Amino acid sequence: MKSIWSMNTEIEKREALIGGLKTDVAVIGAGMAGILIAYHLQKYGVQVVVLEADRIAGGETKNTTAKITSQHGLIYQNLIKNLGKEQARLYAEANERAINEYETLITKENICCHFMRLPAYLYSEKEQLCLEEEAKAAEILGISSRFCTESNLPFAIKGAVCFEHQAQFQPLEFISALSKQLTIYEKTRVLSVKGHMIYTERGDVFADHIVFATHYPIINVPGLYFMRQHQERSYVLALANAQKLDGMYYGIDKNGLSFRNFEDILLLGGSGHRTGENTMGGAYDFLRIKANEYYNGHKELAYWSAQDCIPHDSIPFIGRYSRIRPYWYVATGFKKWGMTSSMISAKIISDEITGEKNPYKELFSPQRFHYGLSHKKLVKDIGISIKGLARGHFLRKAVKCPHMGCELHWNKDEACFECPCHGSRFNDKGELLDDPAQNGIKKLPN
């Protein structure tokens, strides 16, 4: 089903590319990241075109819950412990700045997109100490935060961390307005990229600089992003007659829930899992049980799901794609916090291309290796990929992913095939739904 944003926003259609062209920068992908990167570059006076396989914001962005926040789960105490105070402070500052930049841009461009400031809460029904520590860590790093034990939620909590002055908006109203200023070719899938040449199904593009804003990078080598992140999926219900909350909420417990309002509607999210691991189904059922428990008399208006890339060290990959392609750039690994991460990507990548200094470049650099945060998850991701590849290659009955040949699993709730290794998805006819695969399944077993 469509998200409430897609149900209520019509984004102007664009022509597909016809024939070849030459440009300073080509951005591949017109999601939140691609649109913000292209907008920033254009403001710097750079000639930029966006190439989109399908429709503007037609990827994960249309299904986000669109909280604009520096509160990314229990992250700050871990960053301080593993990377030190200065790197953790940079992460906090980059995200807090991104919230302000949305507000400045929306005001400057006079965009009506339901942008509003409000607090964000990270809560638990079981834990207290780690939330108190998170509040302290965030405060030390310059975020206005506090620990509390009371909330507006329809159940008792042990504690919550409140970050003041965060934000939320309607993402498609925002993108619809901003994209009007940009040169975008829709229905123009990029098939391959070699050096400065981009080959599409509609013509070829020569670009001095190429930005991969395709959610999951579509080129495996160089870069090796398929080894450094996996995808996780979660589910959302839009409810009428539910509750008006005093802020946005995100639960840290196993099966924790996400809450935010949009006007009188409540978005209730959760049931997250690694993509490919929902063979039994029950993700929407779980949310419906919770909705019935908390909101007597509510009405379900919509339900949908989305997924995002989870980097092995919890920090997005933003910057140069690879040392051996200094004119390629990437923005990925947003770990379900792609609103601020897209804005950070826009600043870092436009600064790189225009030769400006950026204080956050090293922290987010795809070429970094943060040892303290990295090795365990990296090893686990590689292990799962090797198992999926082996099953895909050796099991005769396996439905294989066209990306790298891993065995696909059925998602009962979404009635689609999913790859547990890298997260590609296909409908019941084998047609492509989500990257990194770029083609559908050639032959489905009978």
Ligand X SMILES: Cc1cc2nc3c(=O)[nH]c(=O)nc-3n(C[C@H](O)[C@H](O)[C@H](O)COP(=O)(O)OP(=O)(O)OC[C@H]3O[C@@H](n4cnc5c(N)ncnc54)[C@H](O)[C@@H]3O)c2cc1C
In the complex, the residues that contact ligand X under the rule CB under 6 A are 28-34, 51-54, 58-61, 64-67, 189-190, 213-215, 218, 234, 236, 269, 306-308, 334, 336-340, 342, 435, 438
Closest distance of CB 61 from ligand X, Å: 3
Nearer to ligand X, 189 or 387 (CB): 189
Closest distance of CB 78 from ligand X, Å: 19
Beta strands in 253-366 (DSSP E): 258-262, 265-274, 299-311, 317-322, 325-332
Nearer to ligand X, 35 or 353 (CB): 35
Phi/psi class of residue 65: alpha, beta or left (left: φ > 0; alpha: ψ in -120 to 50)? alpha
Q: Is there a contact between 284 and 237 (Cβ–Cβ < 8 Å)? A: yes
Nearer to ligand X, 189 or 196 (CB): 189
Closest distance of CB 25 from ligand X, Å: 15
Closest distance of CB 233 from ligand X, Å: 6
Nearer to ligand X, 407 or 435 (CB): 435
Closest distance of CB 200 from ligand X, Å: 7
Nearer to ligand X, 260 or 391 (CB): 260
Closest distance of CB 7 from ligand X, Å: 16
Closest distance of CB 67 from ligand X, Å: 3
Distance (Å) of CA 113 to CA 33, 67, 110, 266, 344: 17, 13, 9, 17, 20
Closest distance of CB 77 from ligand X, Å: 20
Nearer to ligand X, 123 or 334 (CB): 334
Nearer to ligand X, 113 or 398 (CB): 113
Nearer to ligand X, 398 or 401 (CB): 401
Q: Is there a contact between 388 and 399 (Cβ–Cβ < 8 Å)? A: no
Closest distance of CB 340 from ligand X, Å: 6
**To which residue do tokens 């140069």 refer?**
320
Q: Is there a contact between 161 and 145 (Cβ–Cβ < 8 Å)? A: yes
Nearer to ligand X, 68 or 135 (CB): 68
Nearer to ligand X, 248 or 398 (CB): 248
Closest distance of CB 63 from ligand X, Å: 6
Closest distance of CB 391 from ligand X, Å: 26
In three-state form (DSSP H/G/I as H, E/B as E, the rest C), the secondary structure along the chain is CCCHHHHHCCCCCCCCCCCCEEEEEEEECCCHHHHHHHHHHHHCCCCEEEECCCCCCCCHHHHCCCEECCCCCCCHHHHHHHHCHHHHHHHHHHHHHHHHHHHHHHHHCCCCCCCEEEEEEEEECCCCHHHHHHHHHHHHCCCCEEEECCCCCCCCCCEEEEEEEEEECCHHHHHHHHHCCCEEECCCCEEEEECCEEEECCEEEEEEEEEECCCCCCCCCCCCHHHCEEEEEEEEEEEECCCCCCCEEEECCCCCCEEEEECCEEEEEEEEEECCCCCCCCHHHHHHHHHHHHCCCCEEEEEEEEEEEEECCCCCEEEEEECCEEEEEEEECCCCCHHHHHHHHHHHHHHHHHCCCCCCHHHHCCCCCCHHHHHHHHHHHHHHHHHHHHHHHHCCCCCECCCCCCECEEECCCCEEECCCCCCEEECCCCEEECCCCCCCCCCCC
Nearer to ligand X, 26 or 398 (CB): 26
Report the amino acid identity of residue 353. Answer: I
